Amino acid sequence: MAPTVTEEKKAADEIKSYADGWMTEKKNTEIPAFLKLTYIVVAFGALVYFLVFMNGEINHSTRGVLVQQFNKVTGTANGFMYFVAALIVIFALITVKFAFSKFHED
């Protein structure tokens, strides 16, 4: 027997609940395009910010000299910082892949 129009509308309006009701959404809805773009912009912004300031704000007009002196005394950890940047890139790729993939409910 084929579902009636009201049954189809009821199924389309069904609300799914996640995290014990803290998050809800309509069933079979897609992530909006602006939100997908936001994932990319935020991930890219975080990566650029991290790479620019990984050794501190060395070009600041008043604090820059102090930061440079501190870096000379303590040294820098550029290898580790590039490793963290690589982790940011991996996280960003996974997040973007998740955002643009089709959701399959089991």
In this prediction, residue 106 carries a pLDDT of 53
pTM of the model: 0.62
> Is the CB of residue 55 less than 8 Å from the CB of residue 64?
no
In a domain, 106, yes or no: no
Which stretches of the chain score pLDDT less than 50? none
In a domain, 49, yes or no: yes
In this prediction, residue 1 carries a pLDDT of 59
In a domain, 8, yes or no: no
In this prediction, residue 23 carries a pLDDT of 78
Nearest to 65 by CA among 57, 74, 77: 57
84 is in which domain, residue-wise? 31-100
In a domain, 78, yes or no: yes
In a domain, 58, yes or no: yes
In a domain, 45, yes or no: yes
In this prediction, residue 8 carries a pLDDT of 60
In this prediction, residue 86 carries a pLDDT of 94
Domain count within the chain: 1
In a domain, 18, yes or no: no
In a domain, 50, yes or no: yes
Per DSSP, the three-state class of 102 is coil
